Amino acid sequence: MLLEFDVNGIKRKLDVDPEMRLIDILRDKLGLKGTKEGCGEGECGACTVIIDSVAVNSCLVLAIQARDKQIITIEGLEKDGELDLLQKTFINQGAVQCGYCTPGMLMSCKALLMQNTNPTEKEIRLAISGNLCRCTGYTKIIRAVREAVETGGMQNG
């Protein structure tokens, strides 16, 4: 089956197996291994990517559903060798330990900030309710999002 879509700003045309999920295509066909599979049932969020500006579990999306869509994966956050602000604040705040939840967590947080430039703490927590992290207890992740909001706001202002 032929699939046309845009991944991280690059137009792709691929022949894919129709049973494949988006996560399989990203990892196995495109070699974008930053997207992780932690459960395969929508519960852990390790597979989160952004499709047309919203966060989605790529383990629950069939190949066909990605057609003509714009997809951003963790590999697409960095621009011209420069980390995205959120990636930097994750490092600054110590929001990364084992790193396995990190790509999905970052994509959920990025999607949140794309829609809401000034989320409350509760909104941040809800935005990542579908992203499990076993290492950090979430506190530093929430702080990282706050720092991005604050510095991001300063940069704009």
**Can you give the binding site for ligand FES, defined by CB under 6 A?**
37-40, 42-47, 57, 59, 96-102, 133-136
Is residue 4 part of the contact set for other proteins (CB under 8 A)? no
Tell the smallest beta-carbon distance from residue 55 to ligand FAD (Å).
Answer: 13
Q: Is the dihedral of CA 121, 123, 129, 135 positive or negative?
A: negative
Residue whose CB is less far from ligand FES, 94 or 153: 94
Question: By CB under 6 A, how many residues form the interface with ligand FAD?
Answer: 4
How big, in percent rounded to 5, are the helix, strand and coil portions of the chain? 40, 15, 40
Alpha helices in 6-138 (DSSP H): 22-24, 85-93, 102-115, 121-127
Is residue 100 part of the contact set for other proteins (CB under 8 A)? yes
Is residue 8 part of the contact set for other proteins (CB under 8 A)? no
